[in-house]
Chain A
Amino acid sequence: MSSASFDRLPDVHTRYVDIETAEPLGGPSLLVATRKGLWRIDADPAREQWCAAGPSFLGHVAHHAVLDPRDRRTLLLAAKTGHLGPTVFRSADLGRTWTEASKPPAFTSPDPLGLGRSVRSVFWLSPGHADEPGTWYAGASPQGLFRTADGGDTWEPVSGWNDHKMWETWAEWPDTEGTPDGSLLHSVNVDPRDPDHLYIGLSGGGVFESTDGGNDWQPLNAGCRADFFPDPYPEFGHDPHTVRLHPLQPDRLYQQNHCGIYRIDRPANEWVRIGDNMPREIGDIGFPIELHPRDPDTIWVFPMDGTDVWPRTSPGGRPAAYVSRDAGESWIRCDGGLPERAWFTVKRQAMTTDTHDPVGVYFGTTSGEVWASRDEGATWACIAAHLPEIYAVECAYPPAG
């Protein structure tokens, strides 16, 4: 039975409250960044009671909000408005009060490459290495990479990337505007064994790797298709939608690409298309790919229709996540409780997992719903609806209030 609506599902109750009065409930919290502001949705330890607190920054374009897993206290938000420039806001009290970065991410001026690049959006936030508290990375549009060492107050360009002699060739320039914000640098992955070992994803542009803290970079795209080029296997120019490194097995990365689902186990330099194992009628196109916190062989994706004119909605209008428990060798459909028909999209930052056992899996939709599964994707319940278009859902474990 896959047609249950959220208000018929048992054991899930959601309240809506002001952010000023909301306290964490002892379970995971979801940071839901939308086109019109930020919400925090808190769960009790059983993940049965949900409390949606917000909005913060109503009317602001909120691209990504992340709680620092190192101190469980510093919350960063990448935001802008329709008229004003991009910036980063910081909160030390889970979103009740905010201060703006005193030096937001910005390209070097004058532009060393002579391109006149200016940051249009701060799109992606990644906490840095565990041994470097206060360090974060930000990805932007145009495809700049920025770093802070003071918890997000002052940001510096990673000039080894931004001003690399190959930047204009590797990145999309002139940059484009699109869904949701054109040419993007995202998926900043830091190797837990080595803070100088970094991976980034460019949509479009491909996956790039640095082994010297971002001073120099190399493409890492062999084996990955780019069907929008005459040669479908170029060195770069691909469109990774999301790239995830598993922290417990840091030589393993997964990527949901514009042209398939892939896995790589370093030191191999060639991606393997594990999406070929998806059902043919579903295909292996989508935006997010999410990790199991304790099992590097388990991943979730949310397939979308990449045929014809690329509707980017669920194939056949039948929403479902898919899980693989064998590193992509086989896939299982997860649609219990999801609508029988729906035409939303799940964007690249809009799916996440918690660290409970069994793992909770969550996704947010362009139609403003947040769906939760307490059983690793087998059954789903809607825990919030009628929000603005959702760009990002991140899980956090704040200290209980």
Chain B
Amino acid sequence: MIVRIPTPLRSYTAGAAEVGAAGATVAEVVADLDRQFPGFRFRMVDEHGQLRQHVRVWVNQELVRDRSLSVAVTDADEITIMQALSGG
């Protein structure tokens, strides 16, 4: 499936704004991204597998509210990772 990458994480994807990844849940997709782009996961997910405070993930147009990212996905879904606007 397609995963959209925010600018702060593109240093890991050699500048790519969109990459392909596989997995049955968002957490598995993020693990696959870390296999492709070592170091990627720990910058957006902490040591307990929880999405970091200032990062958000959408599946298609739906905000993922489960911070353990256990939401199921299929190859037809599009995942968007964003830096959360928090304060100004």
A residues lining the B interface (CB < 8 Å): 81-85, 87, 100, 102, 104, 106-111, 116, 118-119
Contact = CB atoms under 8 A, between A and B. Distances in A.
List of 7 A-B pairs having minimum Cβ-Cβ separation, nearest first: A118-B46, A106-B47, A83-B83, A84-B43, A83-B54, A109-B47, A85-B43
A119 B6 CA distance: 22
Contact of B52 (A85, A100, A106, A109): A85
Contacts of A108: 47
A166 B41 CA distance: 31
B55 interface: yes
A107 B84 contact: no
Interface of B: 6, 8-9, 38-39, 42-50, 52, 54-55, 83-84
B55 A84 contact: yes
B43 to A, nearest CB: 4
A104 B42 contact: yes
Contact of A111 (B48, B49, B83): B48
Given A100-B39, A102-B38, A81 B44 contact: no
Contacts, number: 47
Chain B: interface secondary structure? loop
Contacts of A84: 8-9, 43-44, 52, 54-55
A102 B45 CA distance: 15
19 contacts: A81-B8, A82-B83, A83-B52, A84-B9, A84-B43, A84-B44, A84-B52, A84-B55, A85-B45, A87-B39, A100-B39, A102-B39, A106-B42, A107-B47, A108-B47, A111-B48, A118-B46, A118-B50, A119-B46
Identify the interface centre among A83, A84, A109, A119: most chain B CB within 10 Å of its CB: A83
Identify the interface centre among A102, A104, A107, A118: most chain B CB within 10 Å of its CB: A118
Nearest to A105: B47
B8 A110 contact: no
B8 A83 contact: yes
A119 B47 contact: yes
A32 to B, nearest CB: 22
A110 B48 contact: yes
B42 A82 contact: no
A6 B47 CA distance: 46
A267 B53 CA distance: 45
Contact of A82 (B39, B46, B54): B54
Nearest to B56: A83
Nearest to B49: A109
A220 B23 CA distance: 51
Contacts of A87: 39, 42-43
Contacts of B45: 85
